[in-house]
Copies of this chain bind each other. A is one copy, B any other.
Amino acid sequence: MRQTFVTMAFFAVVTGVGGGTVRDLLIGAPVFWVHNAWTAPVCLGVALMVWFSPSRWWQGESTRVIEWADAAGLGAYAVLGTAKALALGVAPVPAAMMGVITGCVGGVIRDVIAGRPSIIMRPELYVTPAALTSAICAGGHMAGIDKMIVWPVAALAGFGLRGAAIQWQLALPAYGWRSRGK
């Protein structure tokens, strides 16, 4: 895809803040980056730095580094999204769904606008690690376990599962697989 500085900045912002934006709209909280003077300039500054970087930095071996950084972000976003919803009094199941939304929806919006197959449709696990992290977070909250224990465990579980999916192309079975071969 041909990227100019403006499309790069647009996609940087959408991917970075899209999931959290949808979560804040759904739970009725003020949208975090609109009411904070610094989030948007930081996103634009990062896009500007990438724009002036040599393109070989983002090719070959580095795509793997980016995928692992994305895996770490997925775990962190899912924890933060679930925790914010729980803190605002949302029930555990919808709160865990807010965690999944925070982790995945930014990438979904980016893919939809770019006209690419969405990350939701990829065969290897992506939504599942976010769901694992969010479920641990919501479950730990219900069980009354200390956040200092629940949050790192939840983030690491999601990061580990997503990392395993990257490393070994882990995928869930597809619907109807039981009937194959009959």
Contact = CB atoms under 8 A, between A and B. Distances in A.
Interface of A: 1-8, 10, 13, 21, 25-28, 30-31, 33-37, 39-41, 44, 51, 54-56, 85, 90-94, 97-98, 108, 112-115, 117-118, 120-121, 123, 127-128, 131, 171-176, 179
Interface residue SS majority, chain A: helix
Copies of this subunit: 3
A94 B33 contact: yes
22 contacts: A3-B174, A3-B175, A4-B171, A4-B172, A8-B175, A13-B97, A25-B25, A26-B31, A26-B34, A28-B30, A28-B34, A33-B94, A34-B85, A34-B90, A35-B90, A37-B93, A37-B94, A55-B175, A55-B179, A108-B113, A113-B118, A115-B117
Contacts of A131: 6
A27 B172 CA distance: 38
